[in-house]
């Protein structure tokens, strides 16, 4: 990526310091959120001191939304994030975590477990109240359980003042409208990942159905498609089919011809809205999560956003995915849409 070690452009900081309401919640969030999964070592080794410093620096730069899960690093990400948040004024950040997915292939969305999970997360994060709690990767269990048991349990916690908002997350796009239409309890937030990036536009195509006129907050996660959209390539566990991985390698070569790189092109594409009204018009995600593990990574990402978009480079990179656009991979109990 460009601009490592350089001063963050004023335009990038101005963009990051914008605030937009997340659906009908109380949260006024930055357009970039701090994805804390790297703090759990999900994408490689993590120096915990670097991670803590990154969180504190993120707030200084203007990021005020942090997302994590007990699943990331088997609670390590929450622990590291909590060590940083304890050093910050509570009013300077919003924090969300998740329930239902834990170590390995362990899923437990029972009312008893998610209630206990919220308390455990509060203790690790050093907060009395969580701003948002998301049901994590709901496609791995019966969706009827999410509707009839998990969401009502979270609603009770919301009414008790333990959480501020509730939501759902997952990979297949069709899980969201099913739960939203089936639940008598309003869903506050939807978190979708790997569906708004250089190789997939499913989130934008489904946006109206998900945002419900702005009543539901929409979070985009994994602008780099879990490492797929980087010059170094995805981690070994990445579930993308080989044809999609081949296309990403071609895209990286094309980006290099314009003295850019694939991750930089991917970040600008997923994060920077096409016009200043897109978020307010409810046609663009309110915030996009970026995985951050150090101050260096944070500064690199912010500097990247300050580089003007080269339309010729973007077109060349996008065209590398023409034959595989919107290709998905299996996840959970529900097969991806054709």
Catalytic positions are 72
CB atoms within 10 A of CB 212: 17
Bridging pattern class, strands 166-170 and 132-135? parallel
Write the CB contacts of 212 (distance below 8 Å, at least 6 apart in sequence). Answer: 180
Place of tokens 């097969």: 335
State the DSSP string of 72-138: TTTTHHHHHHHHHHTTS-GGG-EEEEEESB-STT-B---HHHHHHHHHHHHHHHT-SSBSEEEE--G
The whole-angstrom separation of Cα 144 and Cα 161 is 25
Pairing of the two strands 20-21 and 28-29: antiparallel
Helices (H), 126-261: 143-145, 151-159, 175-182, 202-205, 207-211, 242-256
Angle between helices 242-256 and 311-319 (to 10 degrees): 160
Phi, psi of 33 (to 5 degrees): -110, 150
Look-up: residue for tokens 């919220």? Answer: 118
Helix (H) or strand (E) holding 291: strand 287-291
* CA dist., res. 199 & res. 327, Å (int): 8
Taking the CA atoms of 188, 194, 198 and 204 in sequence, report the sign of the dihedral they define. negative
Q: State both tokens at 286.
A: 């309110």
Q: Are 2 and 303 in contact (CB under 8 A)?
A: yes
């Amino acid at each position: 990526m460009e601009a490592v070690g350089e001063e963050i452009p004023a335009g990038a900081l101005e963009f990051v310091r914008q605030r937009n309401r997340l659906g009908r919640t109380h949260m006024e969030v930055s357009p970039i959120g701090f994805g804390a999964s790297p703090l759990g070592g999900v994408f490689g080794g993590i120096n915990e001191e670097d991670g803590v410093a990154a969180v504190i620096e993120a707030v200084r730069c203007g990021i005020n939304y942090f997302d994590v899960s007990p699943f990331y690093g088997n609670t390590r990400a929450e622990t590291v994030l909590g060590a940083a948040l304890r050093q910050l004024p509570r009013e300077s950040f919003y924090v969300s975590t998740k329930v239902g997915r834990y170590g390995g292939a362990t899923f437990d969305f029972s009312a008893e477990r998610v209630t206990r999970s919220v308390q455990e997360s509060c203790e690790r994060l050093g907060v009395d109240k969580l701003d948002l709690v998301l049901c994590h990767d709901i496609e791995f269990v019966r969706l009827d359980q999410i509707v009839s048991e998990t969401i009502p349990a979270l609603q009770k916690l919301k009414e008790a003042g333990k959480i501020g908002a509730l939501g759902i997350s997952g990979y297949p796009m069709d899980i969201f409208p099913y739960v939203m239409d089936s639940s008598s309890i309003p869903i506050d937030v939807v978190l979708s990942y790997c569906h708004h990036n250089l190789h997939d536009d499913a989130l934008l195509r489904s946006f109206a159905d998900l945002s419900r006129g702005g009543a539901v907050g929409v979070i985009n996660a994994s602008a780099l498609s879990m490492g797929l959209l980087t010059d170094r390539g995805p981690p070994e566990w990445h579930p993308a089919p080989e044809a999609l991985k081949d296309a990403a390698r071609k895209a990286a070569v094309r980006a290099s011809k314009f003295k850019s790189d694939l991750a930089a092109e991917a970040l600008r594409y997923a994060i920077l809205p096409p016009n200043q009204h897109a978020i307010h018009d409810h046609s663009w995600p309110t915030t996009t999560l970026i995985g951050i593990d150090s101050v260096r990574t944070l500064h690199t990402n912010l500097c990247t956003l300050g580089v003007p978009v080269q339309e010729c480079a973007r077109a060349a990179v996008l065209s590398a995915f023409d034959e595989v656009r919107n290709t998905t991979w299996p996840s959970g109990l529900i097969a991806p849409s054709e």
